[in-house]
Structure 1
Amino acid sequence: MSTPPQGLRLSPVTPDNFDTVCALSVRPDQEHLVSPVAKSLAEAYAHGETAWPRAIVDGDEIVGFVMAFLDIAWSPAEDPHDIRSGLWRLNISAAHQSNGYGRFAVTEVAAELRRRGASQAYVTWHPGAGTPEPFYLSLGFRPTGEQTDGETVGVLDLRTP
């Protein structure tokens, strides 16, 4: 894996970059693992108070999309005080994978959650071969033992850099 260039940043999705962000697609073998960006943006609109969608930009090129969820009641029927934040979606375009963009995006989401006072970040992934589980584990996420919609729930402690 190479190191991403210095011009890497997360930027809001705007009318100017909307079409390019929506056109992002992962590899065909990953399409069943992550929703298309257009669905994520529709969810961001529907959950405007808790969604934090961003384009992953390298210089002037959009290379991916990331969306965090902020302060949601995880299982309100069981424990309405179980408030969580974390990574909702991560789509790196097929042409830009294995260049550190995903790692950068997750690191930036974790930094944003820290700035907002979160002590943990959550993520889910499908179990099995070819999933992003090794990627998330390499970033320090650990399975909680929970499942949601058939996906493994992982947590990252944000209190340590």
Structure 2
Amino acid sequence: MTSTVYYHKFDIGWLRIESLDDAIIRIDYADDPETSDKPDKVIKQCISELNEYFSGERETFGVKIKPETHGTPFQKSVWKELRQIPYGETISYKVLAERISGSNYSRAVANANGKNPISIIIPCHRVIASNNTLGGYTGGLDKKKLLLSVEGRQPCYINEIQLYY
């Protein structure tokens, strides 16, 4: 089994997309593209769906993904729960931790969130801090802001603290 790696530039910047067999196994941010393989059928589908997402025409993704090729059992449980957050909505790390473990493991959840292998499609950008500020994002807060704005989440500033409604 050989994976295919392809770099594509979207409105958000360069993404590195990796497939294995008939599924996407990784999407992450890249500063500059490296040498790409020829995109296979699943990568072409992924690019098409991401373009539709960025243009506001897609809220859910149909491309097959396999995040289970990476991560610990706990990380996989976080990534599975992330997929339950509806388009255009956000939850806090604390709420996400309570959904998974029934108690407050916010730091562990935030760490697993940051290890998400399939950015955007597994919507780790929809998780924010308990005080409604952005928290962190592996791709950078500018990219998190863009993704939230694509989904209709508009920022509001109160006493220089950024909130999302």
Larger radius of gyration: 2
Higher strand share: 1
Structure (1 or 2) with the greater helix fraction = 2
